[in-house]
Amino acid sequence: MRCVECFFENQRGAHRCRICGTTLPDDTGPAASEALAIEATPRRGGFFSFGTLITPACIQVAYVIGAAVITLAGLLMVALVLLGVAPEYTDANRDALLVGGLTLLGIGNLLWRGLCEMVMLVFRIHEVLVNLDDKARALVELLVTRK
């Protein structure tokens, strides 16, 4: 049985800590802190109460679709030049189309990924803050009930 004050590991069945003398919880059931943390953790609700966020999943789908569109557009631009489908273009225009297509393939996909990651970061921060809030509430509840 671990003491909640000094964290000393006492013998099973002990009523007081050997080091600091703190009264230990009954060890016949789950630890009091674990049971209280489970009880005190608020239930966030589901889809209609906005407890479950669907936007991160939508952003992941949008990323895949956007990356596919950017890649196809870049490949189409390069293919137009290499296949000579647009003969009315001048050499300068064809070179610009080729460079633009290659740039879109490389840098366009990197920028799209970075944008999606920045938006996802906001939701990850939200998840961490909610988790910290739940733990803090459980800890405060544990401290209140001990007094």
Domain that holds residue 23: 1-30
Span 79-112, pLDDT tens digits = 888 887 766 777 778 888 889 999 999 999 999 9
Least confident among 47-51, 75-79, 100-104: 47-51
65/11 same-domain check? no
91/26 same-domain check? no
Q: Using alpha carbons, select from 57, 63, 98, 64 the residue that is nearest to residue 80.
A: 98
**High-pLDDT (> 70) share of the chain, %:** 77
DSSP 147: -
Residue 46 lies in a domain: no
Residue 6 lies in a domain: yes
Instruction: Report how far apart, in Å, the C-alpha atoms of 123 and of each of 35, 61, 137 are.
Output: 29, 15, 21
Q: Choose the most confident range, by mean pLDDT, from 110-114, 131-135, 142-146.
A: 110-114
142/102 same-domain check? yes
Least confident among 31-35, 112-116, 122-126, 141-145: 31-35
Residue 37 lies in a domain: no
Q: How confident is the model at residue 40 (pLDDT cuts 50, 70, 90)?
A: very low
67/103 same-domain check? yes
72/106 same-domain check? yes
Predicted TM-score of the model (pTM): 0.58
59/125 same-domain check? yes
2/61 same-domain check? no
4/60 same-domain check? no
22/64 same-domain check? no
Instruction: Report how far apart, in Å, the C-alpha atoms of 20 and of each of 6, 94, 145, 146 are.
Output: 7, 81, 20, 16
72/24 same-domain check? no
How many domains are there within the chain? 2
| Packing angle, helices 91-103 and 55-83, rounded to 10 | 150
133/92 same-domain check? yes
